[in-house]
Amino acid sequence: MISDTIQAAPAQVASAAGILRERIANKKAHVGVLGLGYVGLPLAVEFARAGFEVTGIDVQQSKVDLFNAGRSYVKDVPDATFGPLVHSGKLRATTDFSIIEQLDTIDICVPTPLRKTKDPDMSFVVAATDAIAQHMHPGLLVMLESTTYPGTTDELVLPKLQASGLEVGKDFFLCFSPERVDPGNPKYQTANIPKVVGGITPVCTEMGALFYKQALETVVPVSSTRVAEMVKLLENTFRMINIGLVNELALMCDRMNINVWEVIDAAATKPFGFMPFYPGPGLGGHCIPIDPFYLSWKSKEAGIEARFIELAGYINGRMPEFVVEKIQNALNDAAKPVRSSHVHLLGTAYKRDIDDVRESPALDIILLLQRRGAHVSFSDPYVKQIRINETTLAAEPLLPSVESADCVVIVTDHSGVDYKTVVERSKLIVDTRNALKGFRSEKIVRL
Ligand code: SAJ
């Protein structure tokens, strides 16, 4: 840690930056990660693998206990990688924030959800920053990774750390570096996803870039924390708006009796200037439906209405109702009312081949169907049960559910499902994901 060195040799006091630079470059720096979720745990692992002593901090004792037992609760980090690092003593976790006094660097990887009013919930970032401020010391490099609105680092985090009397860019260093973790992505993981980093001062940026370069393949320094904050919001707002565009196209094609999937596939043959997005039952996950509203909230404060974001949010938010209308019309064509019909959903995860149901449109579709008096069940190879209206709904096996259901609805197009059996054994199928692209049958109703 730095402060001993500074206090011990007043005559040759080297700059905090100089000492930290050396400790990072020779991997003597004690690295901290605050928040050990799907972002923090893999990040801690990468720095331990690079040879640093790493201490994870989390408020959940259960996570810390699993962590210190060498048992990874993040699917992208296998125990075979995680266990040896913990057992080697390189990597450990604690709930005790005073460890910050011994750290050279600390990454804040805590959630930034939306409140019900679609305003940013900064409570986790505030709590983390207050904890760091309480144990602040010279030479500390602080990096915020949680996706947030431009201005968070300099307006909210910096003042709290400066309250210590230490000077940013001289006594301590502060950066923003957006997390870009894509859980379950087989090709891109923490080590090989380019890492954008921007500091409050040029020296801060240099420290952050030097730090990440020790463990990650590509580092992209930018001129400020606000640029770095805006980079992540552009990335995810880009996705959300383009998904909204193709969802609106799906609504148009439905009215014009055009196969929207065929349109998109043909458009995707354009070798430049086009990137395919696909319609679906709505927008799920803890990034895409949420991050753009951090931007629209801040831009409103700056006096600009983020109309693209609001409109895309409206269209994406309407897709569950559109799907239920398709189900209602399909049952009606089979002379069956929704009320008392058995509707069986295939998939409740918010996207294929993962087990995460956060913000999943499947939950909205189930609620809407239940309100119309339907009996709803679901199968999902990744999801064992879901909570709906304070009750727990357990997953059912594909058979005999698809046979007994009046209507089967494909909401998540998981890869490992036997769609041939689904087509053969179902009476009626509403396919919201084009999972049955290769099948022809009167019983299939496509989005
Ligand atoms: N979706 C569509 N149509 C599409 C693409 C997605 O309806 O064409 C839906 C999905 O089904 C899901 C939601 O949108 O419900 C979000 O899907 P996503 O593919 O964007 O996946 P996420 O939410 O896991 O987004 C993450 C993001 N990663 C980070 O924020 C670090 C995002 O930036 C990635 O681009 C994305 O993974 C990815 O590409 O997998």
40-85: per-residue pLDDT in tens? 999 999 999 999 999 999 999 999 999 999 999 998 999 999 999 9
Residues 178 and 84 reside in one and the same domain: yes
Task: State mean pLDDT over 333-343.
Answer: 97
Judgement on whether residues 182 and 261 belong to the same structural domain of the protein = no
Tell whether 132 and 193 lie within a shared domain.
yes
233 occurs within a structural domain: no
Same domain assignment for residues 253 and 217: no
Percent of the chain with pLDDT over 70: 97
Higher pLDDT, 9 or 289: 289
Among residues 172, 191, 222, the one where a domain terminates is 222
H or E segment and range at residue 412: none
**Per-residue model confidence (pLDDT) at position 416:** 87
Cβ density class 281-291: b for 16+ within 10 Å, e for less: bbbbbbbbbbb
Check whether residue 161 and residue 272 sit in a common domain: no
**pLDDT for 11:** 43
- Cα 54 to Cα 104: distance, rounded to the nearest angstrom: 10
Residue 129 resides in a domain:
yes
Q: Is residue 418 in a domain?
A: yes
Distance from C-alpha of 108 to C-alpha of 147, rounded to nearest angstrom:
11
Can you tell me the mean pLDDT for 238-257?
97
| Tally of CB atoms within 10 A around 319 | 25
- Give the residue among 124, 169, 119, 170 at the shortest CA–CA distance from 149: 119
Answer yes or no: is 229 within a domain: no
Q: Tell me the average pLDDT across 289-298.
A: 94
Number of structural domains (the chain) is: 2
| Predicted confidence (pLDDT) per residue in 150-184, tens digit | 999 999 999 999 999 999 999 999 999 999 998 88
Residues 169 and 96 placed together within one structural domain of the fold:
yes
9: pLDDT strictly greater than 50: no
Q: Residues 372, 301: one domain?
A: yes
For ligand 1, what atom is nearest to the CA of residue 350? 15
pLDDT at residue 8 is higher than 90: no
User: 189-225: per-residue pLDDT in tens?
Assistant: 999 999 999 999 999 999 999 999 999 999 999 999 9
How far is CA 289 from each of CA 111, 240, 284, 329, 360, rounded to the nearest angstrom?
14, 7, 6, 28, 10
pLDDT, averaged across the chain: 95
Query: Residue 169 and residue 16: Cα distance in Å, rounded?
Result: 9
Q: What is the SS3 string spanning 123-185? A: HHHHHHHHHHHHCCCCCCEEEECCCCCCCHHHHHHHHHHHCCCCCECCCEEEEECCCCCCCCC
In a domain, 151, yes or no: yes
Pocket of ligand 1, beta carbon within 6 A: 179-182, 235-236, 239, 243, 277-278, 280, 283-285, 287-288, 350-351
Residue nearest to atom 37 of ligand 1 (CA): 182
- State residue 6's pLDDT score: 43
pLDDT in tens, 104-120: 999 999 999 999 888 99
**What range defines the domain where residue 140 resides?**
2-222
Residue 345's DSSP bridge partners are: 378, 409
Q: Based on the domain organization, do 197 and 320 belong to the same domain?
A: no
Q: How far is the CA of 288 from the centre of ligand 1 (A)?
A: 6
Q: What confidence tens digit (pLDDT) does each residue in 376-386 have?
A: 999 999 999 99
Residues 56 and 204 in one domain: yes
Residue 228 within any structural domain of the chain: no
Ligand 1 atom 11, closest CA: 351
pTM of the model: 0.92
**Confidence category of residue 14, pLDDT binned at 50, 70, 90:** low
Q: Is residue 378 part of a domain?
A: yes
Instruction: Decide if 287 is catalytic.
Output: yes
CA of 27 to the centre of ligand 1 (A): 35
Instruction: Return the CATH number at 183.
Output: 3.40.50.720
> Are both 267 and 413 inside the same structural domain?
yes
Pocket test for ligand 1, best of 239, 243, 358, 433 (most atoms within 8 A of CB): 239
> Ligand 1 test: best mutation among 43, 147, 180, 287, most atoms within 8 Å of CB?
287
Candidates 281, 294, 364; CA nearest to 323 is 281
Which has the closest alpha carbon to 201: 179, 175, 220, 229? 175
pLDDT for position 414: 97
Question: Do residue 271 and residue 382 come from a single domain?
Answer: yes
- Cα–Cα distance, 199 to 225 (Å, whole number): 5
pLDDT score, position 4: 47
**231 within some domain:** no
Do 371 and 361 form a contact (C-beta atoms < 8 A)?
Answer: no
Q: Are 97 and 57 in contact (CB under 8 A)?
A: yes
Question: What local confidence, expressed as pLDDT, does residue 389 receive?
Answer: 85
- Whether residue 174 is found in the same domain as residue 290: no
Last residue of a domain, one of 222, 251, 270: 222
The residue from 164, 189, 222 where one domain ends is 222
Residue 5 has pLDDT above 60, yes or no: no
Say yes or no to pLDDT of 367 above 70: yes
